[in-house]
Amino acid sequence: MRGRVAPDGRLSTERVLALFAEPELTGRAAANPRLPVDTQERILHDARAELTDDPPPTGHLFLGRW
């Protein structure tokens, strides 16, 4: 039942974060419009870091694959 209500925008932010912290409900809670922006940004940042093959953002030159 909790999985069904996880994306419901009527939940409080605190409840959404509690559901988001449960591994089996993370995906459904991530669809909730009350998920805080900083959490959404962290999700996007982590996904981008996982999918990119770009070098790390530093002033150093790296040769080869990272």
Query: Could you tell me if residue 7 is inside a domain?
Result: yes
Q: Decide if pLDDT at 61 tops 60.
A: no
Q: What is the pLDDT of residue 17?
A: 95
User: What is the identity of the amino acid at 49?
Assistant: A
Give a yes or no: residue 63 inside a domain. no
In this prediction, residue 53 carries a pLDDT of 65
Which residues constitute the domain of residue 45?
2-50
Please report whether residue 58 resides in a domain.
no
> Which pLDDT score is estimated for 30?
92
Distance (Å, whole) CA 58 – CA 64: 15
Is 62 domain-assigned?
A: no
- Looking at the 3D structure of the chain, how many domains does it have? 1
- What are 1-59's pLDDT values in tens digits? 888 999 999 999 999 999 999 999 999 999 999 999 999 999 888 888 777 666 566 66
